[in-house]
Amino acid sequence: MQISHRLLLSGGAAIGAAGAAVAPAGAETLNLSITIPRLSVAEYHRPYVAIWIEREGAAARTLSVWYDVDKRGGEGTKWLNEVRQWWRASGRGMKFPADGVSGATRAPGVQKIAFVTGKGPVGTLTPGNYTLVVEAAREVGGREVVRLPFAWPPKPGATVQAKGSTELGALSLSFAK
């Protein structure tokens, strides 16, 4: 089984299931930080979140989808179409749970996820302009999409930042070898 998601340590190193540093030689790591805001509402539900990469003239690549994976009989997938832009871009053609892509919804706070080029859902990126897209939709709540444009290959130490206004907070995409 290939694991594409990595746990980020405080120093920024990525570790895999065995606990050792994992990355193919010469690979770039896309480090994504997503803030899910704590909302003061009567009925709070964790958002469904989809993360994908777009490039003009190419099919969207789904990197991660956070949804209620624990619902009996796959009932959590019933609401994935509410993450509308992602659903139209690539979600409707997927089968869930998707190995290396599906994950549980996340609690409010800063969530960190890393993707290694050449492995898992990110695959190989050819030179050009891309957009990493994060969309969140929440039951009895709103929907929001934030776009982080970047050029590939990135300049050393490059970081792209954006901020949502309701369902998403600060987002940061950085690149490391």
- 32-60 pLDDT per residue, tens: 999 999 999 999 999 999 999 999 999 99
Q: How confident is the model at residue 18 (pLDDT cuts 50, 70, 90)?
A: very low
87 C-beta neighbours (distance < 10 Å), count: 17
Chain segment 103-128, per-residue pLDDT in tens:
999 999 999 999 999 999 999 999 99
Please give the pLDDT value at position 6.
Answer: 40
Kindly give, in sequence order, each residue whose CB lies less than 8 Å from that of residue 26, ignoring residues fewer than 6 positions away.
177
pLDDT-derived band of residue 75, with 50, 70 and 90 as boundaries? confident
Q: Average pLDDT of the chain?
A: 87
Position 26 scores a pLDDT of: 64
Following CA atoms 10, 12, 14, 15 in sequence, which dihedral angle do they give, to the nearest 10 degrees? -20
Exposed, middle or buried: residue 131 (CB in 10 Å: 0-12, 13-18, 19+)?
middle
Residue 24: enclosing H or E segment and its boundaries? none
pTM: 0.84
88: pLDDT strictly greater than 60: yes
Query: Which amino acid type is present at position 8?
Result: L
Residue 103: how many CB atoms within 10 A of its CB? Answer: 16
Residue 129 has pLDDT above 90, yes or no: yes
CA dihedral for 121, 28, 58, 142, sign (positive or negative): positive
Per-residue confidence at 140, pLDDT binned at 50, 70, 90? confident
Residue 7 has pLDDT above 90, yes or no: no
